[in-house]
Structure 1
Amino acid sequence: MTVVEGVPRSRSRGICRCLLVTPAIRMERFLGGAADAADIHLLDLEDSVPPEAKHDARQAVATLDPLDVPAGYSLRVNPIRSPEGLRDLHMVLDARTAPDMIVLPKVESPYDVELVDDVLAGAGIDTVLWAILETAAGLESAMAVARSRPRLVALTFGAADFCADTGTAMEWEPLLMARSRVALAARSAGIEAVDGPTFDLDDAAALESDARRAAALGYTGKVAVHPGQVDVINEVFTPSTADVHRADRIVGEFRRTGSSIITMDGRMLGPPFLRQAESTLARAGRSR
C-alpha cells in the first residue's frame, strides 16, 4: 500500500499511529530509538521491569537528559494504587526531564486519572495522560474514565491482563466485545483509541490482520513491543493515497455545492461522510 508522506509526528497530544514500548532497564535501546518511526516512544517501568530492578530503573528515568530523549518521550508507571506507582509519580515530579505523557496501567475508575491529574496540576506539570483498561473493573468504567479529565488523551485496551483477570481466551472473537467497548468509550469522548500489542514477533501477517481489525473497530493506532512492528502498524493506520484522494474529493464537493447531501460516484453522501472525510484528511496531516 502506498502511504501519504508528511504525516505529522505526535507530541503525545495528537495523532498516534504507533506507540513503541521499551523497558526502562534497556535504556540504551530507548536512547537509540530516535530513528524509529514510532509516533510515541514509551519507557516502561511496569511489567517489563522486575521488582528487584524497579528502583534502579526509576533512578535512570529521573536523570534522563532532555537533549537525549526521542520525540514523543512517554513513561508507563506502575499501577497508581500501588506503592511502586506512587514512587514513580513522585519521581516524575522531580525528574530532570518530564515526559510528554504518562501512561497509567490497570486503570479501574476515573479516580485513578483524577488523582494523577491533581498531582501534576499542583506541581505545574502539563504532561498529558493515557489510560490502559485491562481488567473487568476497568472495562466496566470505560466511559467514565474516558470522560474523566481533559488531560486524558487516549485509551488502550490491554488484552493480556484482561484475559488473566477474566479467564477470557486471548483470541480475537472472545475479546471483540471488550475491545469494542474501549474504542467506543474513547471515540465518544473525542480521544484516541490505541489497540494493545500483538505479541507474536515473527508473524507480520498476524500483526497486520490485528491492526486492520482494530482500525475497523475505530481504533486510531496500535502498541508495538518491538521496533520491527512499527512499519506495519504505521502503514495500516496511515491513510492511503487513494483514501486521501477520495476524502479530498468529498470535502471539495460538499464545499462546491454548499449542500448537506451530495451524490458522488453514484452514491448519496450526507454529513457523516463529510465528517469521516475530514477526519481522514486530518490523520494524513492535511487540512482544507
Structure 2
Amino acid sequence: MPKPPTPFPLTWLYVPGDRPEVVTKALASGADVVIVDLEDAVAPDRKAYARAATAELLSAPPPVPVHVRVNALRTPEAEADLEALAPLPGLAALRLPKITCPDEVASVAERTAPAEGGAIPLYALLESALGVERAYDIATAHPALRGIALGEADLRADLAVSDDRALDWPRSRVVLAARAAGLPSPAQSIHPDTKDLKGLAVTSAHGRALGFLGRAAIHPRQLPVIERAYTPTAQEVKSAERTLRAASVTAGAQALPDGRFIDPAVVAVARRTLALAGRPTQL
C-alpha cells in the first residue's frame, strides 16, 4: 500500500541507481522520500544501466515519492538523464547537483516543463563556496524550484576545512536563503558514517537547532535516529498545547503565570510544533 504523503518529510534516503534491489528495499524502508542517485554513487561505466533501471522504476508511480539526483549539469550524462526521466509518471522531483547560478536551475526548469504545463519540481544542491554565496539568487531562480540543500562533502573539499564547526555559517546561510525565498526549511546533509548512530543523533540535534527540517540518509538504519531527532518531544508538544490554549483565551502578546511570554510569533512556533507531531493545532 502506498505510504500517505507527509507535509513535513523528515527522512530522505539516498540509494544508488544502478542497484535496483537496493532501491526496492529503500521504497519499503519507511523513508519519507527516496532519492535515486545517478551521480556520485554510480561508477562511470554503470551510468547508462542506472538510468535505464531508474526509468523502468518510474514508468509507474512508486509507493513513496522518488526524487532522482541527475549527473552534473552540462555533461552528456545529465542531458541523457533529463531526456530519459522528465516525462515519466513516477518522478516526484529532480535534484540538481553542484548548482552555482540561477541560470542552471531556470534552464532545467524550462527544458523539463511538459507542454501542458505543470513544471517538474526541482531541488538545487549547493556544494561549493560559489553556490552558497549565491544561495538566495538560486533559491528564487524559478517557480519550479521547491527547495535547496547543502552538499557538505564537496563543500568541505572546496573550503579545505576539517572542523565541522566551520560549516555552521554555510548551513545557516542556506537555511536563511530558503526561508527568505519562501521555500521549506532545507533538509540537513548526510552523516557519512552509517554505524555512528550516536554521532548521527548529536549532529541531527545540532542541525535542528540551526533550522534544518529533516535529514538525508545513506542507510535505512539511520532513518529512526533522524526521525526521533526532528520529531517534537512529548515535553515540546505539551508546551505547545499550553501556549495555544493560553492564546485562545487572550489575543495579542501576554505574560503567562509561569513566567513565559507569548506573542503571535510564539504561537506560530507552537502550531508548527504540533503540526510536526501530527497533533491538532486548533485548541
Q: TM-score, normalised by structure 1?
A: 0.89
Which of the numbers 61, 82, 92 marks the counterpart of 1:100? Answer: 92
Q: Distance in 2 between matches of 1:62 and 1:270?
A: 50
Which of the numbers 174, 177, 188 marks the counterpart of 1:182? Answer: 174
Which of the numbers 31, 37, 40 marks the counterpart of 1:38? Answer: 31
**Secondary structure of residue in 1 paired with 2:273:** helix
Listed one character per residue, the Cα deviations across residues 57-91 of structure 1 (whole Å, up to 9, x for unaligned) are 11111122555733111111112232211211111
**Secondary structure of residue in 2 paired with 1:279:** helix
> Equivalent residue for 1:248?
241
What letter is aligned with 1:177?
A: W
Q: Distance in 2 between matches of 1:213 and 1:45?
A: 29
Shift of the alpha carbon at 1:196? 0.7
Aligned-residue CA RMSD (Å):
2.0
Shift of the alpha carbon at 1:8? 6.9
Listed one character per residue, the Cα deviations across residues 180-210 of structure 1 (whole Å, up to 9, x for unaligned) are 1111111222323111101111111110111
Contact between 2:188 and 2:214, CA under 8 Å: does it hold in 1? yes
Contact between 2:58 and 2:91, CA under 8 Å: does it hold in 1? no
Q: Distance in 1 between matches of 2:129 and 2:224?
A: 32
> Equivalent residue for 2:212?
219
Q: How many residues align?
A: 277
Contact between 1:261 and 1:271, CA under 8 Å: does it hold in 2? no
Check 1:50–1:179 CA distance in 2 against 1; reply closer, same or farther (3 A cut).
Answer: same
Contact between 2:61 and 2:91, CA under 8 Å: does it hold in 1? no
Listed one character per residue, the Cα deviations across residues 122-145 of structure 1 (whole Å, up to 9, x for unaligned) are 444543111111111100110111
**Secondary structure of residue in 2 paired with 1:173:** helix
Identity rate, percent = 34
Check 1:142–1:264 CA distance in 2 against 1; reply closer, same or farther (3 A cut).
Answer: farther
**Secondary structure of residue in 2 paired with 1:153:** strand
Check 1:149–1:252 CA distance in 2 against 1; reply closer, same or farther (3 A cut).
Answer: farther
Q: Distance in 1 between matches of 2:4 and 2:207?
A: 21
Unpaired stretches in structure 2, ≥5 consecutive residues? none
Check 1:23–1:271 CA distance in 2 against 1; reply closer, same or farther (3 A cut).
Answer: same
Contact between 1:155 and 1:193, CA under 8 Å: does it hold in 2? yes
